[in-house]
Amino acid sequence: MKNFSKKNRTFSKKIIVIWLVISAITISVNAQMRRKAPNELSVFGGGGYSFLFYHPALSGVHGISSKGFGADLGGSFTAFSGKYVGFHIGLGFGINNINVLVDSFTFVTPNFYAPNLFGDNQPYDLHTNLSGYNEKYRTYFLTIPVMLQFQTTPKRVHRDGINKCFYAMTGVKLNILIKRQYEMEVKELQNMAYFTQLGNWAGTQTFANLGHFKGSTSNGQQKNFMPVFTFEAGIKWYSTNKMNFYTGVYFDCALSDPTKDNKVPFNNYISEEDFQKPSLLKYSNRANVMTVGIKLRLAFFDPKKALLYR
């Protein structure tokens, strides 16, 4: 687990270093440009499909999937250093709602002992199976995008003078979590014992916590900070002499695991007390939240400072 945390931190540092290098190069290039695009004050909103990129720690995980939605809205400011590059910063509010579904997952713990099952203590392998697993995460956060915006020279697409250009943005979002709520539900737990010396199975002795047990639910909430790598690209429309309109798609990838501070070893669930709060993500090697969606932005600028393309 410690090695995984170090790898996760190293990955995040590499992303930040690459972004800083790109920033230095583009700022240097724009310093040589004589003409400057006008700064923009804008409002934005977007949303799309969210999911978890998940690495299970257990080998017996079957039928895992995740689905949900993510959205955010807010305001931003873009300061251009030349014709093609601007520095973008903003403040917004976002939400992520993700369901993790698993048909079943199993775990085998060797060399348990079963008192009085066959008249004497015998070693056995405990086979634990959880089926019908559903874990829901709902996250509310403040988001601070810090990005670089790249854009091409506008081209006229209409004889009345409507122009457009291609734009792309990349950087990080600093997501400050307000609240993360989670709910967990498991439909059924089954414990089976295989006695290696006897070559027999046992699975009905409920007094020894073997057999089928009804499901359980739990809930709670967490708070922490989560940096996100983000990329956005699309078309910038020069709609009036005071306003521009952006239409694009975006991709967000959380650089940290939302359950990294709550990792626990797998519990064998050999009693009903153990079965109160299982959490599949807490056993994971890694889980990163990702979102793919559509972003719209309405930008306003001072027409006296506008760079007109003809």
Please name which of 306, 117, 76 lies closest in space to residue 210, comparing C-alpha atoms. 117
Across the strands, what pairs with 174? Answer: 144, 227
The DSSP H or E segment spanning 2 is helix 2-30
* Rounded CA separation 113/205 (Å): 13
pLDDT in tens, the chain (310 residues): 445 455 555 656 666 666 666 665 555 554 444 567 889 999 999 999 998 877 666 667 777 788 899 999 999 999 998 888 999 999 999 999 988 888 877 778 777 765 556 556 677 888 888 777 787 888 899 999 999 999 998 876 666 556 889 999 999 999 888 887 777 777 777 888 888 777 788 777 777 777 776 655 555 555 566 789 999 999 999 877 788 999 999 999 988 776 666 666 666 666 555 555 556 666 666 778 899 999 999 999 877 666 544 3
Please name which of 307, 26, 4 lies closest in space to residue 163, comparing C-alpha atoms. 307
Taken in order 254, 255, 259, 261, the sign of the CA dihedral is negative
* Rounded CA separation 137/43 (Å): 27
- Write out pLDDT tens, residues 62-92: 777 888 999 999 999 999 988 889 999 999 9
**Running DSSP on this structure, what letter comes out for residue 81?**
S
Among all chains, which residue has been given the structure tokens 């940290």? Answer: 256
Assess if CATH 2.40.160.20 describes domain 2-305.
Answer: yes
Torsion of CA 21, 22, 28, 34, to 10 degrees: -170
pTM (whole model) above 0.75: no
The DSSP H or E segment spanning 22 is helix 2-30
**Running DSSP on this structure, what letter comes out for residue 285?**
S
